[in-house]
Amino acid sequence: MNRIDQRFAELKAQGRRALIPYITAGDPTPQYTVGFLHALVAAGADVLELGVPFSDPMADGPVIQKACERALRHNVRLSHLFEMVREFRQTDRDTPVVLMGYLNPVERIGLEAFADQAADAGIDGVLTVDMPPEEADEFGPILKARGLASIFLVAPTTSRERAATICAHGEGYLYYVALKGVTGAATLNADDVASHLAPLRELTDLPLCVGFGIRDGASAAEVGKVADGVIVGSALVGRIAEHAEHPETIAGELSAVLAEMRQALDALPPR
């Protein structure tokens, strides 16, 4: 069983919500990324999303755009991400790792070569922001053959017909984008999120995880009342930016942010 499926099965049996942090690989410098991943797991992460630095991250707001710029200044590439995950796997063989990024870096090395290297490194899922399900007929089977989950986004503006197509192709979990805009944009509305998740549950048995706008324990708890998991990115990446001049302090900062969210989620009644 894919580590993502196994982790969500464990959480469901426990009545708990998934906590999924995102950081950009190589930010602020490559040598700290693996330590950040371990710190996030220790603070309560259930699944890790590791961002692939890209020069034109169109779905991301200024916070993550600047994180990509910091990483790219150190020439961080997909090959470096694979090495980071291999190093992470030396001491953590259980926590699922999802690569999140854009199609261009993947196509540069080739779909099959990418999938082979990702699986060999110990990656469990791939979320390619600009790969719609209508164009995933080639890539999806390549990933599936290697035990990698294809994870897709659903937006508030997604029609029911298109959502059904996305759900039919999706694996691992469904990433519901809580806001109309880019990452880190605005304050989310939990009631609005609930109204969009209800019809999605009629279309899929995949866990529904919500990202964009999760900033603290309070917002995580509000979303956790209606979702199977919460995804936090900009709130963490912002801390990295604030402390980029003293990277040795960043792991503690990330742990503090995530631990507050973990405590808030675990205080909710079992699902």
Catalytic: 60? Answer: yes
188-to-213, 215, 241 alpha-carbon distances in Å? 5, 10, 23
DSSP of 98-153: EEEE-HHHHHHH-HHHHHHHHHHHT--EEEETT--GGG-TTHHHHHHHTTPEE-EE
CB atoms closer than 10 angstroms to residue 260: 17
* Spatial separation of the C-alpha atoms in residues 163 and 203, rounded to whole Å: 8
Nearest alpha-carbon partner for 126 in 172, 164, 193, 79 = 172
Q: For residue 229, give the H/E element and its range.
A: strand 229-232
Q: Which tokens go with 236? A: 């963490």
Catalytic position from the list 5, 27, 46, 49: 49
When computed from its CA atoms, the radius of gyration of the chain, rounded to whole angstroms, is 17
Catalytic position from the list 27, 46, 60, 171: 60
b/e 201-233 (16+ beta carbons within 10 angstroms → b): eebbebbbbbbbbbbebebbbbbbebbbbbbbb
- What residues act catalytically? 49, 60
